[in-house]
Amino acid sequence: MTESEATHTAPTSYDVVVLGAGPVGENVADRTRAAGLSTAVVESELVGGECSYWACMPSKALLRPVIARADARRVPGLRQAVQGPLDAAEVLAHRDYETSDWNDDGQVGWLEGIGADLYRGHGRITGPRTVTVTGSDGSRHVLTARHAVAVCTGSRAQLPDLPGLSEVRPWTSREATSAKTVPGRLVVVGGGVVATEMATAWQALGSRVTLLVRGSSLLSRMEPFAGELVAEALTEAGADIRTGTSVKSVSRENGTVIAVTDTGDRIEADEILFATGRAPRTDDIGLDTIGLEPGSWLPVDDSLRVTGHDWLYAVGDVNHRALLTHQGKYQARIAGAAIATRAAGESVQAEPWGPHAATADQAAVPQVVFTDPEAAAVGLSLAEAEQAGHRVRAVDVDLSTVAGAGLYADGYTGRARMIVDVEDEILRGVTFVGPGVGELIHSATIAVTAQVPVSRLWHAVPSYPTISEVWLRLLEAYRDN
């Protein structure tokens, strides 16, 4: 069915109505359609959502040549061939290709292929099991859901309340990943994933980057050494990192951004990026009509059902469990299975690792920060494990001691840590920092998720000579100390 046909002839009653057509909404729809449930999907922007057009895909397209060049510069016999600057125009053109030039025809075709009906427009819940869609042309469609409404509207950049901010037209993550030209000078406010990745990308593409971090370190939610190693590399690349610094006011004078810090410093730039957190996109979706607070995160149980509403699900960023695309898609698979099971009149089982419980959101959330060096972590950090009351030990290994690291890059610098529960003899968390470590994190995710005993990990033999031999070194360090 085409979009036009869906608008004019599709029934208004569906088994499931999905609010939001990003990766999370798409996966919910895929699972409910596979179970034979009629499904409507409502989207006010582009089908494919934040990840496809303003986050995962464009940011990694910008970062990939940066990391590849950095790796090549560490390889004897190759480094001299890659000393020149990146071709910024070609990098940006490839970024545009990866986002399909912000055209969602392909994603729309996929939705049609699974048999879901797409309604373009702003969707608002207007009562139990009811969503009203208002199109850009003023058209109005009322959709009712026999079994479930799934809120998959994601999150948006949160801007601070600063004097002069609206006049400055600041970058958020969206502008940072979709900019058409390289700013000569870029101020980045924040020290988390978006801030460090975009500082890495734009510094390498030719910007002079100043990073203003309110806290004492970068990547504060990871092990401390992760932020330290990333900060060292950014500084070496030419970025100016100022920790313990807050922005007090901003203005734009003759096209130039002026940022004034709490120490009185006046910093001039062509653009300023605020990477200072996320807020749920729930402020105008009708939560007030069902007794919930507009603009709030939505609390859910492990089947992603909203507390107090047996027909309402909140999947992905909106429930604030783990603001990561892969975790949202994981939740979508769980939610889709739970919706289908309940629709069939069967009870949903709540066993910890069953098909209806999103337990990995607490126990084993993996994340990769695509900076140079990469930082990758899963599970708990040392501080988090201790705070949770586990008796743990941190085991550290210098990645440069692993044979595969020396072959990967001359002068390889990196570090690995595993957090061992000394009572249960299992891993509570693992962190890697170094070139190429993003591809190591899934092995750690399996070890943490499956609660593999340390004694059993000795029999998971890493291939030689690869960086994954760090697993052997970590086990040896645990045994010997």
Helix (H, G, I), strand (E, B) or coil at 384: helix
**Does the residue 109 lie in any domain?**
yes
What backbone torsions phi and psi does residue 451 show, to the nearest 5 degrees? 50, 50
Give one DSSP letter per residue of 310-378, joined into a string: TTEEE-GGGGTS---HHHHHHHHHHHHHHHHHHHTTPPPP--TTSTT--THHHH---EEE-SSSEEEEE
**Does the residue 71 lie in any domain?**
no
Total number of domains constituting the chain: 3
The residues pairing with 314 across neighbouring beta strands, listed in sequence order, are: 151
Sequence-distant (6+) residues with CB within 8 A of 279 are: 155, 156, 157, 158, 295
**Does the residue 197 lie in any domain?**
yes
Print burial letters for 331-367: b (CB count within 10 Å at least 16), e (below 16): bbbbbbbbbbbbbeeeebeeeeeeebbbebbebbbbb
Specify the CATH number for the domain of residue 469: 3.30.390.30
Give me the residue label for tokens 């066993």: 351
What are the tokens at 271?
């653009």
Computed over its alpha carbons, how large is the radius of gyration of the chain? 24
Separation CA 134–CA 142 (nearest Å) = 9
CA angle 352, 356, 358 (to 5 degrees): 60
Same domain, 170 and 140: no
Give me the residue label for tokens 């807020």: 279
DSSP code for 93: H
Same domain, 137 and 40: yes
Same domain, 261 and 405: no
**Enclosing domain of residue 460:** 373-480
**Does the residue 56 lie in any domain?**
no
Separation CA 50–CA 362 (nearest Å) = 23
DSSP code for 137: T
CB atoms within 10 A of CB 115: 14
The structure's pTM equals 0.94
**Does the residue 221 lie in any domain?**
yes
Same domain, 286 and 418: no
Same domain, 141 and 286: yes
**Does the residue 63 lie in any domain?**
no
The residue among 277, 309, 332 that closes a domain is 277
Counting runs of H as helices and runs of E as strands, what totals does the chain give?
17, 21
Separation CA 189–CA 209 (nearest Å) = 10
Whether the CA torsion 5, 146, 354, 303 is positive or negative: it is positive
Separation CA 156–CA 169 (nearest Å) = 16
The residue among 333, 360, 387 that closes a domain is 360
The residues pairing with 119 across neighbouring beta strands, listed in sequence order, are: 42
The residue among 360, 382, 402 that closes a domain is 360
The answer to whether 322 and 365 have CB atoms below 8 angstroms apart is yes
Reading the chain (481 residues) residue by residue, the pLDDT tens digits are 344 444 444 459 999 999 999 999 999 999 999 999 999 999 999 999 999 999 999 999 999 999 999 999 999 999 999 999 999 999 999 999 999 999 999 999 999 999 999 999 999 999 999 999 999 999 999 999 999 999 999 999 999 999 889 899 999 999 999 999 999 999 999 999 999 999 999 999 999 999 999 999 999 999 999 999 999 999 999 999 999 999 999 999 999 999 999 999 999 999 999 999 999 999 999 999 999 999 999 999 999 999 999 999 999 999 999 999 999 999 999 999 999 999 999 998 877 778 899 998 887 999 999 999 999 999 999 999 999 999 999 999 999 999 999 999 999 999 999 999 999 999 999 999 999 999 999 999 999 999 999 999 999 999 999 999 999 999 999 999 8
DSSP code for 53: H
Closest CA to 369 of 204, 187, 216, 227: 227
Same domain, 8 and 149: yes
**Does the residue 67 lie in any domain?**
no
Give the H/E segment covering residue 19.
Answer: strand 13-19
Give the chain's end-to-end CA distance (angstroms, integer). Answer: 64
Specify the CATH number for the domain of residue 152: 3.50.50.60
Same domain, 393 and 430: yes
Same domain, 176 and 260: yes
Same domain, 269 and 127: no
Same domain, 306 and 187: no
Separation CA 56–CA 281 (nearest Å) = 18
Closest CA to 285 of 29, 76, 18: 18
Beta-strand relationship, 415-421 and 392-398: antiparallel
**Does the residue 89 lie in any domain?**
no
Same domain, 351 and 393: no
Backbone φ/ψ region at 67: left (φ over 0), alpha (ψ -120 to 50), beta: alpha
Same domain, 431 and 455: yes
